[in-house]
Chains A and B, each alone.
Chain A
Amino acid sequence: MKETFYKLFWVWEYDKEEKWLNEMAAQGWALSGVGFCRYTFDKVQPGEYTVRLQLLNQCPASAESMGYLRLVEDSGAEYVGRMMRWVYFRKSGDRDFRLFSDNRSQAEYLGRIQRFLAPLTVANLGIGLSNLCMGLSLPSAVNAWCGCLSLTVAAFLGLGWRKVWQKRCQVLKECDVFE
């Protein structure tokens, strides 16, 4: 049996998204496909699957990423699908399923997410400010509204970046004692 859910997670909510997917798995719905705001699930035993999502270094179709996806599959997980550079995996019967097994590589990965969010934040900030400036000198309010929208998105992206940064600081502190 399959079921499709529509749900929106912003890019800075990847953590929340993974948590939700695992809550679904705990209730017996294992992710089997992803699309834009669309999640398809298989009916399985509650708690059978653990789901992980990951931001890849390169496009999933590149040779490097293909080699990586194969390795994850070799290790017993299933590749479920992708949205841009984000890929989704699920693994049966392994509650300990992780993609990073030491603090150092975990910190490096969080740095990758920061580098992904930073340019998006700056771009939205720039677009927002220039639209706002333009809007204030024009009779129509369209530009000003678009500017406010971009600035709001930039603020959320910035907060998301900060959350990842804080998490990375925690992991790096742990690195001082344990690798």
Chain B
Amino acid sequence: MGNGGALTEAVYYILLTLLQPRHGYGIMQTVEGLTGGRVRLAAGTLYGAISTMLDKGWITALPGEGEGRRKEYLITAEGMSVLREELARLEELATNGKKLLEERENEGNLL
């Protein structure tokens, strides 16, 4: 389970893409596509995150080998609950941001 802290963008997107089984490069491509090219996970960053998340039990390596002897990964029940917690946190961030900025605009403070 998460410790209440924020996930890194890389970890959040890896969890999200592993709602379906994917190998490392599949994760890279999906994240790049989802963010319109904004988030390009580099191999070292991705591999490090995968190994930490495997240790934490948030994702699991699927038995056997996928296409081209590449290991495939999938989110676990624990990873799902971390992902849901993070989504709630992100929603709170966005709601508070919008609310306070709108209030300021309504007060006529345009900066």
Contacts and interface: CB of A to CB of B under 8 A. Distances in A.
Contact of B24 (A74, A98, A104, A105): A74
Given A67-B71, A75-B28, A100 B42 contact: yes
A138 B49 CA distance: 54
Interface in B1-59: 8-10, 24-25, 28, 39-49, 51
Nearest to B25: A74
Q: Which 8 pairs from chain A and chain B are nearest by CB?
A: A74-B25, A101-B42, A99-B44, A105-B45, A71-B24, A72-B43, A101-B45, A100-B44
A54 interface: yes
A70 B66 CA distance: 13
A108 B10 CA distance: 15
B64 to A, nearest CB: 15
Given A101-B45, A102-B45, A70 B70 contact: yes
B45 A68 contact: no
Interface of A: 54, 64, 67-68, 70-72, 74-75, 77, 96, 98-102, 104-105, 108-109, 179
A100 B42 CA distance: 5
Nearest to B51: A64
22 contacts: A54-B44, A64-B51, A67-B24, A67-B47, A68-B47, A70-B70, A71-B24, A71-B47, A77-B43, A96-B40, A99-B44, A100-B44, A100-B45, A101-B39, A101-B41, A101-B42, A101-B45, A102-B45, A105-B48, A105-B49, A109-B44, A179-B9
A107 B51 CA distance: 16
B44 A102 contact: no
Interface in B39-95: 39-49, 51, 69-71
A75 B8 contact: no
Nearest to A71: B24
B46 A71 contact: yes
Contact of A179 (B8, B25, B44): B8
A44 to B, nearest CB: 22
B8 A102 contact: yes
A101 B10 contact: yes
Nearest to A64: B51
B44 A105 contact: yes
